Chains A and B, each alone.
Chain A
Amino acid sequence: MRDRTFDPTDVAAGVIFILLGLAFGFSALGLEIGTSLRMGPGYAPLVLAGVLTLLGVLILASGLRSHPDEAIGPLAWRGAAFLLPAPILFGLTVRGLGFVPALFLATLLAAFASPRMKPWQALALAVTVTAFSTIVFSYALGLPFRRFGPWLAQ
């Protein structure tokens, strides 16, 4: 790693902060800024977006001047591919399919994020979690979920 002359984590963090700062700043330009006596809705956002962009530049600059002190390490590609869609799947199906099938599907999907999970284990886990949650959250705590939704009504 000695041949690298910049710290990739700092450079990436700096770029992300700059982009976010510019995005927030651009969005705040459409708002009324007001005066320091009567600040409009855009005053604080614009100032903060400016500060964020500036901090991004400083982090980027310091990243370009330093050596990487630690490798980024492996990335959880498989984890992200199965884990992140799980709450989305739950959100998309909880109304249509209802609480019970939506939770079952989401848990099953999340379970495959680990390579150690065997299919029969995932299935058993999803069934157990769904049964437990339905009893606790729906029956015992009385949260207002439809257990089975209109998509299954046919």
Chain B
Amino acid sequence: MDLLSNLALGFATAASPANLLFCLIGVILGTLIGVLPGIGATATIAMLLPITFQLEPVSSLIMLAGIYYGAQYGGSTTAILINMPGESSSAVTAIDGYQMARRGKAGTALAVAALGSFFAGSVATLLVALFAPPLTTVALKFGAAEYFSLMVLGLVCAVALAHGSFLKALAMVVLGLLLGLAGTDIYTGAPRFTLGLPELADGFNFVALAVGVFGIAEILRNLEGSQGSREVLGQRLGGLFPSRADLRAMVAPMLRGTMLGSILGVLPGGGAILASFGSYTIEKRLSATPEEFGRGAIAGVAGPESANNAGAQTSFIPLLTLGIPANPVMALMVGAMIIQGIVPGPNVATEQPDLFWGIIASMWIGNLMLIVLNLPLIGIWVKLLKVPYHILFPIIIAFSSIGVYSVKGNAFDLFAVAAFGLLGYVFLKLRCEPAPLLLGFVLGPLLEENLRRAMILGRGDPSVFLTRPISAALLALTLGVIAVMLMPRIRRKREEVFVAED
């Protein structure tokens, strides 16, 4: 069986001492930033991206992946202990996890979250291993038209899953696409949107944009008001190990959460977040005691935690098979691959099997490391929660500056960080999500290139997008997403009208 030999190759790659070390560094960093509020996985990976250029491609991607799923674990720790989700996807965990902690069952809540995450991570990794290769064969049949349609689907999904206003999310995608087009036109060499600056000949620096819009903007938001002191419920964690009854209560939600998360993770745009919210809703509806939810229900921790971790793993599927990022973190991974000289896409699996399978195997190893890091060592992370924010953010600024500068040794990129930081903060205040902007920025040049190529191949006839079956199916799916997206909106609008009339 091919899968076994491939997995063997993967584990051989991932288990080399150097890669084990980078995986460990990745998951420790991930847990750290997950625990520390006010700094997310996207900003951290953006900051560390330049530093990984010195590493082997496999090692750097293993480490970056570790940061990402490590942050999902760490985020739940703060959600449970201080009712403050370190990552947006663990916001749901805070609802019942914190209530469990207040009842003196913090240890159980942490254990349930960690075990659920580990189970979901393992299953989802297996799913990636099972489904990525066949999808790769499909992806090899993709031409320019299919890629274009797929990216349109991806961007529409990103808009559909963004919080808040649909129009604003759409505008952010379009703005991202425009920013992505800046630089030298690949066909004619004409400079576009460069403002006459030679530094913009290669376009805006991706790392500068990500650090500014996600990192700096978020710090500014945290600096807004009086920072209330955080109450840490770490004094007595209670027993770590769940009782038999607790274990029995968590099995079914864990399985359902894993399934839901695995499916939603593949979709572009914040799959992990949607998965945890979706799982919470499902568990509440299926529960025999729905009134327990919000007062410390185990299912309310086990389900969403499994769902967000499964989603984090399966969001690697579109990246590894198509080279299309499903969320901002995956967009950064695309950036990391390109800078390492790897063209993300279906060819990675055949041309660099050790890289492809090494990353997959490392995810399982990383999940194993995380459960060790999180359960016995929980005390250390709890202490870290007491680091005040005003000590933290100058360190983040310093590392960001170093990270951005080391990409090209270019002072202009640092000015861009400040500009994008301001822009990102303004957009945050105006309740415009930055995630669609970053996805648009990454996909902009790809989208345009494939559009132009498809039109040339189709001799200027736009029906090429509809006559090729895969492309037509993808566009039909896009329309379906738009239709679904509009339906509940119409319903909600109606409800608002009803409320207003009362």
Contact = CB atoms under 8 A, between A and B. Distances in A.
B297 interface: no
Q: How large is the interface on A (under 10, 10 to 19, 20 to 34, 35 or more residues)?
A: 35 or more
Given A12-B430, A20-B175, A87-B404, 10 more contacts: A35-B460, A36-B460, A59-B167, A59-B171, A62-B167, A76-B221, A86-B418, A94-B411, A113-B219, A125-B395
A79 B223 contact: yes
Nearest to B453: A39
Given A37-B456, A91-B414, A76 B425 contact: yes
A74 B178 contact: no
B281 interface: no
A116 B222 CA distance: 13
A68 B43 CA distance: 30
4 interchain residue pairs of minimum CB distance: A37-B460, A91-B414, A79-B223, A41-B185
A105 B148 CA distance: 46
Contact of A55 (B171, B390, B447): B171
Max chain B C-beta neighbours (<10 A), residue from A24, A32, A70, A95: A24
Interface string A74-87: 11101110011111
B178 A32 contact: no
Given A36-B460, A41-B187, A48 B174 contact: yes
Interface residues of B, number: 68
B418 A87 contact: yes
Interface in A85-121: 85-88, 90-92, 94-95, 103, 106-107, 110-111, 113-114, 116-117, 121
A141 B402 CA distance: 12
Contacts of B469: none
Contacts of A24: 178, 193
A114 B393 contact: yes
B414 A137 contact: no
B429 interface: yes
B263 interface: no
Nearest to A114: B390
A76 B223 contact: yes
B455 A83 contact: no
Interface in A4-56: 9-10, 12-13, 16-17, 20, 24, 27-28, 31-32, 35-45, 48-49, 51-52, 55-56
Nearest to A56: B171
B54 interface: yes
A117 B414 CA distance: 24
A83 B51 contact: no
B405 interface: yes
Contacts of B397: 83, 86-87, 106-107, 110
A97 B417 CA distance: 20
A56 B181 CA distance: 20
B398 A52 contact: no
A84 B421 contact: yes
Interface of A: 9-10, 12-13, 16-17, 20, 24, 27-28, 31-32, 35-45, 48-49, 51-52, 55-56, 58-59, 62, 70, 72-76, 78-80, 83-88, 90-92, 94-95, 103, 106-107, 110-111, 113-114, 116-117, 121-122, 125-126, 129-130, 133, 137, 141-145
A59 B395 CA distance: 38
A125 B405 contact: no
Nearest to B432: A13
B426 interface: yes
Contacts of B185: 31, 41
A44 B394 contact: no
A48 B188 CA distance: 19
Contact of B174 (A55, A87, A95, A111): A55
Max chain B C-beta neighbours (<10 A), residue from A12, A31, A44, A72: A44
A43 B451 CA distance: 11
A75 B429 contact: yes
A147 B258 CA distance: 50
Given A9-B429, A83-B216, A87-B401, A113 B414 contact: no
A33 B46 CA distance: 34
B192 interface: yes
A86 B399 CA distance: 12
B480 interface: no
25 contacts: A9-B431, A10-B430, A13-B168, A16-B430, A31-B190, A36-B462, A39-B455, A45-B181, A48-B178, A49-B178, A51-B174, A62-B167, A72-B429, A74-B224, A83-B223, A83-B393, A84-B421, A84-B422, A87-B216, A90-B405, A91-B412, A92-B411, A125-B394, A129-B398, A133-B402
B376 interface: no
A45 B388 CA distance: 45
B328 to A, nearest CB: 20
Contacts of A42: 192
B170 A55 contact: yes
Interface in B430-452: 430-432, 447-448, 451-452
Max chain A C-beta neighbours (<10 A), residue from B51, B54, B452: B452
Contact of B394 (A55, A107, A141): A107
Nearest to A116: B390
